[in-house]
Chain A
Amino acid sequence: MRVYLAVFALLALDFWTHAVSTERPVDILVPHSSLNAVKVFLKKNNIPFTVMINNVQELLVREREEMVHNAEMERKSKSFNFAAYHDLETIYSFMDTLVASHSNLISKVNIGRTYENRTMYVLKFSTGGVKKPAIWIDAGIHAREWISHATAVWLADRIATDFMGNRAPVPSILSHMDIFLMIVANPDGYVFTHLSPNPHYRLWRKSRSATSNPKCPGVDLNRNWDAEFGGPGASDDPCAEDYRGPSAQSEIEVKNIVDFIMNHGNFKSFITIHSYMQLLMYPYGYSGTDAPDQPELHDVATSASKALNSWHGTVYKVGSIFHTIKPASGASVDWAYLRGIKYSFAFELRDTGRYGFLLPADQIVSTARETWFALRYIMKYVCDHPY
């Protein structure tokens, strides 16, 4: 054996495992220039061998490319400006970057198209398993509420980084549950609000579907759900801001979400993010009667609002939609609750009317952060209270 080792040294072979006895195999890295000589030598001396990796160089090149790519994705996601409002294309690109830098945790799910044929995406945060109990969060169902989309963008990044940094309670929540986050629930409306600073565009609320009145497109997507549809607090006039649509889930955007959640079948919480008015609310919107779980939902919302307040001192009020805002039928939280998704909440983010829908971008990060405090509380509570 010593003779062989001397020969191998001459051929500049790199031993990956060392020779310890004649019974055990040895792994050798063979430079291309020595390849033939080594094969000839081994055959001549009846030393059996197998090629484990044909071209180590190729593997190394590929691995390096992947690392560079990942670093690039990391850099892109780190350089993303969370303290600014972005258009749909930029948000969709952000989602791709986020998925690429956290491919072990996050995937992008296509849940269907909008009226104007744009794709609706949900980010799925999952550590594996099949249809684990899940939490749904949507933002931007009303186009002009830009702080909602901007907050969701920040939240997506925060969930990812908390998971990566092993920061409680995110890893624990994700070991038991999946999180589905839809950053833009009304892409057509959102694009419309970016077309011009003119209030007709920037202050658009609804979808962009054609209605029975050619002068008045769009349906209020948060009055179109199958929850006492046709009840109080929603209009049957296509020109109204809270036009409910011709029938429950007539709007493709609503139907896509409904189908996704029903097909999944294992959602335990449904949270929708709006602005403005600084409220954290629970069902019902369509009725003033207390929901059966009202005491618990009120407690959870109260604690969540206290967690939110602890960060910047922002004060949120808590209550049912019906009592806090007004009677409103066809609302998404009511739909979710009536389908048995107990922990259903609606946020109205900053502010209370000073800037309203035109919240300055320098408030995005603090708004998102305080919202995260509340959301984190709710998600942990949901995780700790399986049903």
Chain B
Amino acid sequence: MASTGDLEPTHYPARRAAQVALHYLNTHHGSPFRVFGLQQVHKASAEDVAAGGRKYKLDFSVTDWGSGSAGPALRCSADVLFPRTERHSAPKVELHCEALQQINSTAQEDDAFYQKYISPDSTVSARDIPDSFGNMSEEMQPFWRLARVAASFIMLRESSENTEFNMAKVASITQQESSEEQLMLEFVVLLHDFPSQEIVQWKLLASWSPDRGVRVLQTEWQPRCPHATKPPN
């Protein structure tokens, strides 16, 4: 059962679609010093489209978690298309945010971070980011953000109208040997799906540099419990 036409912005169909747009935004503009979160949905509507999908039109605001509470809200609009296919396929997003270029550049921090960890001796390795109490060292914050951006690729791909993903925790970060001047990081991340309340574990290999941004090279769903036999989709 789903509604067509104008949607209540505070209800879950609009919020889930907006979260998908957020994942898309982060895959394109996320970095060690920038991750966007949903502030609120202002307007939303949905309609069935030919070929059996559902398209959401959204007007919403986002904030940059990297800049703390001081950051301004950015206004965005997006079309999010959920295909209705036999087997799950990723939603398609078209997104436009005002003043994206005008928000404070993080180029300096990006470069400093890159220089520090691109050296061949660097072997960053950590577990449980954040820890049980929500603590994370300052050194780990850019790695957490990178994991969050990399996880956004998976969350975007796995999303449907019945999911609402966030990253619950980074189980582990292991730096790999740099390749083609890219920082190479292996992450194990735990995703939380709000509707089902399930925790889903993924291992992924991602690269990052200030020039090329985040790219996800490999992803592998991981069973968390002995009983699990296959990934959700």
Question: B-contacting residues of A (Cβ < 8 Å)?
Answer: 84-85, 193-194, 197-200, 202-203, 205, 213, 215-216, 220, 239-242, 277, 315, 317-319, 323-326, 352-361, 363
Contact = CB atoms under 8 A, between A and B. Distances in A.
Contacts of A200: 224-225
B168 interface: yes
Given A240-B198, A324-B11, A353-B166, A358 B134 contact: yes
Interface residues of B, number: 38
A31 B38 CA distance: 77
A117 B133 CA distance: 27
Contacts of A241: 196-199
Contact of B130 (A220, A319, A360, A363): A360
B12 A355 contact: no
Nearest to A204: B199
Nearest to B13: A323
B134 A355 contact: yes
Interface of A is mostly: loop
Contacts of A363: 134
Contacts of B12: 323-326
A207 to B, nearest CB: 14
Contact of B190 (A199, A213, A315): A199
Most buried by A among B10, B37, B228: B10
B109 interface: no
20 contacts: A84-B133, A85-B132, A194-B132, A197-B128, A199-B224, A200-B224, A203-B169, A203-B192, A213-B227, A216-B227, A220-B197, A239-B227, A241-B196, A315-B40, A323-B12, A324-B11, A353-B19, A353-B167, A354-B166, A357-B168
Most buried by B among A203, A216, A220, A359: A203
Interface string B31-48: 000000111100000000
Contacts of B8: 319, 323
Nearest to B8: A323
Given A319-B11, A352-B38, A199 B166 contact: no
Contacts of A353: 19, 37-38, 166-167, 192
Given A203-B168, A239-B225, A352-B38, A358 B197 contact: no
Contact of B10 (A197, A220, A319, A352): A319
Interface in B167-208: 167-169, 171, 190, 192, 194-199, 201
Interface of B: 8, 10-12, 19, 37-40, 65, 127-128, 130-136, 166-169, 171, 190, 192, 194-199, 201, 224-228
Nearest to B165: A353
Contacts of A326: 12, 195
Contacts of A356: 166-168, 192
B226 A215 contact: yes
A325 B162 CA distance: 11
B7 to A, nearest CB: 10
A215 B225 contact: yes
Contact of B197 (A84, A193, A242): A242
B160 to A, nearest CB: 13
Closest 7 CB pairs of A and B: A353-B166, A360-B134, A241-B197, A317-B10, A215-B227, A358-B134, A197-B128
A242 B134 contact: no
B169 A358 contact: yes
B197 A202 contact: no
B192 A361 contact: no
A318 B11 CA distance: 9
B61 to A, nearest CB: 11
Contacts of B168: 199, 203, 356-358
Contacts of A357: 168, 192
Given A216-B225, A353-B166, A202 B132 contact: yes
A85 B133 contact: yes
B130 A358 contact: yes
Contacts of B201: 199
A203 B131 CA distance: 11
B225 A324 contact: no
A288 to B, nearest CB: 8
Given A215-B227, A216-B227, A360 B135 contact: yes
